[in-house]
Amino acid sequence: MDLQAEWLETDGHGGYASGTVSGERTRRYHALLLTATTPPTGRVVLVNGIEAWLEGPHGRIPLSTQRYLPDIRHPEGDRGIVSFSATPWPRWQFASRVTQEILAGRQGEGTVLRWCRTDAAAPTRLLVRPLLSGRDYHALHRHNDVFDATARVAGGNVGWRPYRDLPGIALLSNGQYEHDPQWFYNFLYHTEAARGLDCVEDLLSPGMISFDLSHADAVMVLRTGEDLSAPANAVAAALLAAEHDRRSAVPTVWLAADAYLTARDGGLSLIAGYPWFTDWGRDTFIAMRGLMLGTGRLAEAKQILLTWAGLVNQGMLPNRFPDAGTAPEYNAVDASLWFIIAMHDLLDSAAAAGEEPASATQACLIGAAEAILDGYARGTRYGIGVDQDGLLRAGEPGQQLTWMDARFGDWVVTPRIGKPVEVEALWINALRIAGAWSPRWQEMEARARTSFAARFPDPATGGLVDVVDVDHVPGHCDRSLRPNQILAVGGLPFPLLTGTAARRVVDLVEARLLTPLGLRTLSPDHPAYAPRYQGDLRARDAAYHQGTAWPWLMGPFVEAWLRVRGDTPEARQEARTRFLAPLRAHLDTAGLGHVSELADAEAPHAPGGCPFQAWSLGEVIRIERMLTPETRALLRPRSGDA
């Protein structure tokens, strides 16, 4: 049992509850009530955690775990943990013969906590102190004289509104509340410290709730708002029953896919990763192919694309929406092209399932794709446009436009200005897709494909050049060995290479870049190679795409690996053992049931970044489908009309 592994419960609107198996909060993002005020953005932390303990004949028995400056753990409730399970929701069994459960509803109903005795000899008195803040989820909270600890009490239910500009907190319980405000000082979040970030916080506990476990299970429901009229037992029972039914209906890894689905502007989108990302364009379109299409959620996939289709501007889709509610950021060359790939895959999946989208839906999606291609053909922001050779050029100093987008201050770590290999693969695929409904793109595709074949092969390695016409200088090439070239063979509907040329690329990537948890972003023999993703923010940004392995790239790699081997049963079996098994084992570490954002380039390949990453999990689901064709019979549209 890894006590530092993390669990996640999401509410379908950008909010979530999360923490570690030990119960210790190691990140500023660990909380029991973290809500999105402008779904899925505007996230604020309202209830950070709890102090919980039992009182029995032999004194106090802690159930919670805290860490304080300088590095003091008190209490250490994790010493009493006998077992933990993350499914169907987080559940702890303590040596004191009491269980604790935490779950969040998918419609914003709140977070439920329940404690049960498993033996008549277990202590009967439970006491819980909620620990409150009221802050942006990226920030930290310190003692102040503005915090309003005033309580509104209605039986076992109590409400607070610590700060006027934030939502109120409603705590429903079947216990008894005693008002007793106390500040708790200097909580230490050691994962934040390891990342070189501020890591100390003060929280206020306004009072204590006591429960008699001899009469009934103890129940608390945490949610936003002012309404204290609902009975805790009824609310918790309904939510527990609904979530049990929902979670028992599908495989665990498919259920994890639900965590990323979120409301946006009356439609749907996908959170890129927890705990700190919101919905990003590039991530959404890559991830949805596995998370939604790979699990038969065609209706949801359609809604996601329709939500984003209305945001095309000058041929571009936004890469992200800032938390502050300001204008979206149109700073990605590939996000818009990934939209077209995702649209193609949706229409293809719907046709295979006999669920053709309505003509109005198809017209909307195709119209967005046409606007993207028109904008790119004419030329748009950041030097993005079609060059004389038919390839897509992009970039200008100070901007990071590809998925390798690390930036520290004014330093763009991997600018890749020019014609990046994966962008050309996306561009040619998008033209091929659009050529099916409009012949005008067919000639452009043929020209781009011919230029790609002439300009990207690298005789020195047998692979492909990473960027041609670097900094828009004709003939200047970046031959750094990176994984982006794999998208010319796998990961996209139409490979640009076949036969011996494709096999050389796959073999090169396998030999130099493959790790158990993803593809390295740079060859180990490169002077800039970073074997570990660690240190402060600058050090981690420097390593982000300079060696660090990314699990999402395993999807394109496995697809390419199978293609060059004829996708035989023998090849699929070998791929299950060599490529899928380590990823499945990773589901039991780091972010439980999920796949991390990245991992160290060198053994033991420690996971890092977001412990819950959408496109990482999405590509694992896609790999499952590639290697287990019989699972396709399980895939059916699960709601609505695709």
Q: What is the DSSP string of 539-596?
A: HHHHHTTTT-EEGGGHHHHHHHHHHTTTT-HHHHHHHIIIIIHHHHHHTTSSBTTS--
Q: Say what the pTM is.
A: 0.95
- 418 backbone φψ class: left, alpha, beta (φ>0; ψ -120 to 50): left
Domain 6-247, CATH class in plain words: mainly beta
| Two tokens, residue 595 | 């796949």
According to the model, what pLDDT value does residue 327 have? 81
According to the model, what pLDDT value does residue 106 have? 85
Taking 50 as the threshold, does the pLDDT of residue 632 lie above it? no
If you average pLDDT over residues 614-638, what whole number do you get? 76
Taking 90 as the threshold, does the pLDDT of residue 630 lie above it? no
Domain boundaries, the chain: 6-247, 513-642
What distance in Å separates the CA atoms of residue 400 and residue 405, rounded to the nearest whole number?
Answer: 5
According to the model, what pLDDT value does residue 612 have? 98
Mean model confidence pLDDT for the chain: 95
According to the model, what pLDDT value does residue 635 have? 41
Contacts of 503 (CB under 8 A, 6+ apart): 564
Taking 70 as the threshold, does the pLDDT of residue 640 lie above it? no
If you average pLDDT over residues 394-409, what whole number do you get? 95
Peptide bond between residue 88 and the one before it cis (omega within 30 degrees of 0): yes
According to the model, what pLDDT value does residue 57 have? 85
Task: Write down the residue that tokens 């690329």 correspond to.
Answer: 505
Chain segment 223-270, per-residue pLDDT in tens = 999 999 999 999 999 999 999 999 988 888 889 999 999 999 899 999
Taking 70 as the threshold, does the pLDDT of residue 605 lie above it? yes
According to the model, what pLDDT value does residue 642 have? 31
Point out the least confidently predicted range of 92-101, 112-121, 273-282, 313-322: 313-322
Taking 80 as the threshold, does the pLDDT of residue 539 lie above it? yes
Chain segment 290-318, per-residue pLDDT in tens = 999 999 999 999 999 999 999 999 999 99
According to the model, what pLDDT value does residue 323 have? 65
Share of the chain above pLDDT 70, in %: 97
According to the model, what pLDDT value does residue 303 have? 97
What distance in Å separates the CA atoms of residue 65 and residue 53, rounded to the nearest whole number?
Answer: 10
Contacts of 570 (CB under 8 A, 6+ apart): none
Confidence of residue 284 (pLDDT cuts 50, 70, 90): very high
Chain segment 437-464, per-residue pLDDT in tens = 999 999 999 999 999 999 999 999 999 9
